[in-house]
């Protein structure tokens, strides 16, 4: 997964035009990818747009909800579950 693309898409979605928050957004994106791979057992594919958009949406939610006690939104939970079912653990889906 290309972190630079994820960061650019997160910033675009949030309307951020400067580089002031790049290190923070990069850390969030890297954390999301690591969590999905290590804790959820997914092998994310660079070429799969579903994987890319899920990572972008998840990182965006993480950025926006920092400090919140709210849980993960149902749409992200549902999509994560679908990825786990479709990918079936440590297999990449191209």
Q: What is the mean pLDDT of residues 72-91?
A: 82
Q: For residue range 55-73, what is the model confidence (pLDDT) as tens digits?
A: 999 999 999 998 888 899 9
The answer to whether position 37 is within a domain reads yes
Q: Which residues contact 23 (CB under 8 A, 6 or more apart)?
A: none
- Asked, for residue 93, whether it belongs to a domain, the answer is no
How does residue 94 score in pLDDT terms, banded at 50, 70 and 90? very low
Residue 20 forms part of a structural domain: yes
- Cβ density class 21-55: b for 16+ within 10 Å, e for less: eeeebbebbeebbeebeeeeebebbeebeebbebb
* pLDDT greater than 90 at residue 1: no
Looking at the domain assignment, is residue 94 inside a domain? no
pLDDT tens by residue, 23-37 = 999 999 999 999 999
How many domains does the chain divide into? 1
In a domain, 92, yes or no: no
Q: Which two tokens stand for residue 33?
A: 């990818």
Full residue range of the structural domain in which residue 77 is found: 3-87
Measured in residues, the chain has a length of: 94
Q: What is the pTM of this model?
A: 0.87
Is residue 25 a part of any domain in this protein?
yes
CB-CB contact of 82 with 50 (8 Å): no
**7 part of a folded domain:** yes
């Amino acid at each position: 997964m290309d972190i630079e693309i994820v960061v650019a898409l997160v910033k675009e979605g949030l309307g951020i035009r400067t580089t002031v928050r790049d290190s923070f957004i990069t850390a969030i994106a890297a954390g999301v990818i690591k969590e999905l791979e290590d804790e959820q057992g997914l092998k994310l594919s660079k070429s799969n747009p579903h994987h890319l958009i899920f990572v972008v949406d998840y990182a965006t939610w993480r950025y926006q909800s920092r400090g919140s006690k709210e849980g993960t939104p149902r749409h992200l939970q549902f999509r994560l579950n679908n990825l786990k079912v479709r990918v079936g653990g440590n297999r990449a889906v191209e």
